[in-house]
Amino acid sequence: MLTPRKELGNRIIVNNTQLTINISRTSVQVAEVLRSSQEVVSNHFIRFKGGSPKSYKEELKSFFESLSLKDEYQEYTMAWCSIKYALVPIRVFNDSTPPKIMELLFGDSIEKEDSDFNRLAELNIVDVYEIPDWVKSFFIVKFPQLIFKHEHAMTLRALFQGSTYKLKTIVSVFDDYMNVSIIQKNELKFSNAFEYHNAEDIVYHLMFVVEQKGFKEEKGEIQFYFQNKESQEFANKAIELLKEIQMINSHTILDSENSAKLQLLCV
């Protein structure tokens, strides 16, 4: 499908299109998504080779130059993907600071200036997370109008703009970790992150949560989201395994979706 465009002087404006970015310490994905239909019209992905702030910035610079993104988009959004995050009640957050919360949960491995947060007023919680300075400094210069949040804050905000009464389990698969969230009767019943190495790990963590929370026999839906083409393979393999073992037949397992689509609901 052709993306509607209009020229304005020497600039080309991409109508109704959002530039979405998913980035972690291991990879970055850039996608153009139509806001009207949620169609992903282009998708670009690389794995980082280095591990220093300088090498990250150099690889990002080279990557974006190769994309030749000269257009201006209706919206620019970025999701930072890291397992080092926590959802805390607003009242707890108000009595502390992001650095103190991160130190309590993860020790002194995170620099104070690398702590950030996103409020989720609709849930009365705050997503406190770590995000290194090289991410902010690169993208603030590259796209000054960019809106960035932790990926889980984006996911929850997007989900709670839709229907949240019926039971729904959301599995978000990233490079080296996954989130499992359960929504029912307009409430977030459960949310946590787990490390994984293969599709079997994903199924194990999902089944453990569903059974422990008492939702195994209830009717509901399971929705998988993926970060990039590699995590998509893990998500799709997990879906195949779930259908093979037939241990949660009361749940309808939906096709996996690109998590870039969730960013459309966060601006």
Cβ–Cβ under 8 Å, residues 113 and 97: no
Q: What is the pLDDT of residue 7?
A: 44
User: How many other C-beta atoms are found inside a 10 Å radius of the C-beta of residue 89?
Assistant: 12
Distance CA 260, CA 40 (A): 8
> pLDDT-derived band of residue 9, with 50, 70 and 90 as boundaries?
very low
Checking if the pLDDT of 225 tops 50, the result is yes
Helices vs. strands in the chain: H and E counts, helices first: 7, 15
Alpha carbon 86 to its chain's center: 14
Amino acid symbol at 71 = D
Cβ–Cβ under 8 Å, residues 113 and 85: no
Every domain of the chain and the residues it spans:
83-130, 163-266
Residue scoring higher pLDDT (3 or 242): 242
pLDDT digit string, tens, across residues 152-204 = 999 999 999 999 999 999 999 999 999 999 999 999 999 999 999 999 999 99
Give the 3-state secondary structure percentages of the chain, helix then strand then coil, rounded to 5: 35, 35, 25
CATH class of 163-266: alpha beta
CB within 8 A of 175, min separation 6: which ones? 24, 26, 27, 81, 227, 228, 230, 231
What are residue 157's phi and psi, to 5 degrees? -60, -40
> pLDDT-derived band of residue 5, with 50, 70 and 90 as boundaries?
very low
Q: Please provide the size of the chain in residues.
A: 267
pLDDT digit string, tens, across residues 94-143 = 999 999 999 999 998 899 999 999 999 999 999 999 999 999 999 999 99
Q: What percent of the chain has pLDDT above 90?
A: 87
